[in-house]
A and B are shown apart, each in its own frame.
Chain A
Amino acid sequence: MILFEVKNLVKHFGGLAAVNNVSFQVEKGEIFGLIGPNGSGKTTIFNCISSYYPVTGGNILFKDQDITSLKTNKICKIGIGRTFQVVKPLGRLSVLDNVIAAAFSKAKTKHEARDVAMETLEFCGLLHRKEIIARSLPIGERKRLEITRAMATRPELLLLDETAAGLNPTELDEAIDLIKKIRDKGVTIIIVEHIMKVIMTISDRIHAINFGQTIAQGVPKEVSNNKAVIEAYLGEEYAHG
């Protein structure tokens, strides 16, 4: 079953086509990887999906419903959560309050919001840090807080924007475990990532873009052997060699 679809997405910044005619479909329950070199338009696609930028052209469908022109907060309400590449913790609030604020998007009462928050904190393994002020968390846990907060809004589709960047090897393994755990809970995931270890181990399918255009699509093995992808990442000589 197709849960989410992007159709001919176009985004121009002035004369620059940051995303040019990108289309993909995401099945329910899969982990969908989005890769591409720096500046290829991955985060722009995320920002278009969550409506931070108005799209220039194309459609975005979620559960057969056109969500292209919905506002950012509505996007969250209908079940699409996201994290930010540059983490945005609510700095002067405690970790628990960060998650409670997010849980209110579905919870009716404060009591319920608190319960949802505690449950999500435990699920994401951040419960022992709940009293800490978000600003003073180390980067690994800030990234984890981003995921926890997004999960507290009870999404069906989660957009992860470089959640593994800047993590040490141990934290990396923990992050992979967490992402798998979220998938096992039934949440569909679209993940943007640079670290190949992460994207190749967890993705069910991968979509590669460069200069805002699709260059390859398929299961991880196909994509990693694709000429255009190798060329985009390593340069022309490697692709021919």
Chain B
Amino acid sequence: MKKFLPLILLIILIIFPLVYKNAYYQHLMILVFIWVAIGSGWNVIAGFTGQVSFGDAAFFGTGAYTAGLLAHHFQISAWWGMAFGGIMAMAVAFPFGWICFRLRGAYFALASLALNEVCRHIATIAEPLTQGMVGILIMPSFLSKIPYYYIALAIAIFSVVFVQIVMKSKWGYYFLSIREDQDAAESLGIDTHRYKMVSLNIAAFLTGMAGALFMNYMGFIDPEVVFSLHDISIMAILVGIVGGVGTIYGPPVGAFVMVCVHEFFRTGFFGLFKGMAALTGSDFLIVAAKYISQAHVLGFGILVVLVILYLPNGIVGDWNKLFGRFFSIKKKEAAT
């Protein structure tokens, strides 16, 4: 049963847009797929290699801007950005990793946070190239969401399968060794600097590709959107932590949960607050309805606290704990 679970899930996901034609839910699923790719990338560098990155938006934004600028300046289809976006993100990751992998632990995380901000400022200031805060607008290729849905699904599957293949290879063993003990890894003949670079570049490629897809799908980007610290970098970490750090299927689960939570807040609990405000006319609820959509970061914070307290290995990592307890209660009830 467990063996066929991914296959069954895959079939459901392929059939989903054909059966369920609501564009809103298709849109949400596309976002989930983009987050699967970003989360998988983050998981390679942070989850498997143990080098926590707060700068995924730097790669995401680079990918998105590569696609956007190709279309904007050279009239090349933004879909080429899917290939070049990943490569450009690697071009950012390479010098960054080369220098900053001399740092360990929290210091590397701080450096990656700085990279995020540096990229955002460059995109804002370099107006002749990026149009700064005006952003870049391209014509979407498709009117229907279905083509985007399948492309995003393909990217998501590629990310998960690719990470799985990498983790079963020599690289995977090296990444895990570096995570567990860098000194021991070095004494076992592992060039830790080099393999941390490999890991970062894989992460950057997947994230950059997701960024290019985002550009194609959304049709509009500006620095505040694609280089956003809390909406991209922190969200990537949350996808990893909630789903399960260092697990293959963690990012897909985390992406699904986080997009749901994000949407839950964005819509003000599916319009609950707006409805209540209209019904009661209470000033408090009107204000609350206005601001609740901004409060998703608060919601993320609470979620992370709960996950770290009760599921330190994430939903996938603690799957047995989560559902084992559930089933054991049922069994006990049946026994009595």
Contact = CB atoms under 8 A, between A and B. Distances in A.
Nearest to B170: A104
A101 interface: yes
Interface string B166-191: 00111001101100110111111111
Interface string A186-212: 000000000000000000000000000
A77 interface: yes
B192 interface: yes
A93 B176 contact: yes
A101 B177 contact: yes
B181 A101 contact: no
B180 A93 contact: yes
B191 A101 contact: no
B190 A105 contact: yes
Given A104-B170, A110-B169, A110-B170, A90 B177 contact: yes
Interface in B130-176: 168-170, 173-174, 176
Contacts of A77: 189
A216 to B, nearest CB: 29
Interface string B246-267: 0000000000000000000000
Interface in A214-230: none
Contact of A91 (B180, B191, B192): B180
B188 A101 contact: yes
B176 A73 contact: no
Contacts of B192: 73
Interface string A67-88: 0000111001100011010001
Given A73-B191, A101-B188, A113 B170 contact: yes
Contacts of B173: 97, 100-101, 104, 113
A72 B174 contact: no
A55 interface: no
Nearest to A82: B187
A149 interface: yes
Q: Which of A50, A72, A89, A100 has the most CB of B within 10 A?
A: A72
Interface in A129-164: 149-150, 153
Interface residues of B, number: 19
A197 B192 CA distance: 38
Nearest to B175: A101
A88 B189 contact: no
Contacts of B177: 90, 93, 101
A129 B170 CA distance: 22
B186 A72 contact: yes
Contacts of B174: 101, 104
Contacts of A101: 173-174, 176-177, 185, 188, 190
A81 B188 CA distance: 7
A102 interface: yes
Given A100-B173, A104-B173, A110-B170, A73 B190 contact: yes
Contacts of A100: 173
A76 B187 contact: yes
A76 B184 CA distance: 11
Contacts of B183: 52, 84, 88
Nearest to A99: B188
Given A84-B184, A90-B180, A76 B170 contact: no
A12 interface: no
A106 B189 CA distance: 9
A7 interface: no
A92 interface: yes
B108 to A, nearest CB: 19
Contacts of B184: 84, 88-90, 149
Nearest to A92: B180
A113 B183 CA distance: 21
A121 to B, nearest CB: 15
Given A97-B173, A100-B173, A110-B169, A105 B180 contact: no
A171 B189 CA distance: 28
Contacts of B185: 90, 101
A82 B190 CA distance: 13
A53 to B, nearest CB: 12
Contacts of A91: 180-181
B188 A71 contact: no
Contacts of B170: 104, 110, 113
A100 B180 CA distance: 14
A81 B184 CA distance: 11
B180 A73 contact: no
Contacts of A88: 181, 183-184
Contacts of B176: 90, 92-93, 97, 101
Given A76-B188, A150-B188, 15 more contacts: A73-B187, A73-B192, A76-B187, A77-B189, A81-B187, A82-B187, A89-B180, A90-B181, A91-B180, A91-B181, A92-B176, A97-B176, A102-B188, A104-B173, A105-B188
24 contacts: A71-B191, A73-B187, A73-B190, A73-B192, A76-B186, A81-B187, A84-B183, A88-B181, A88-B184, A89-B180, A89-B184, A90-B176, A90-B177, A90-B180, A90-B184, A90-B185, A93-B177, A100-B173, A101-B173, A101-B174, A101-B176, A105-B189, A110-B169, A149-B188
Interface of B: 168-170, 173-174, 176-177, 180-181, 183-192
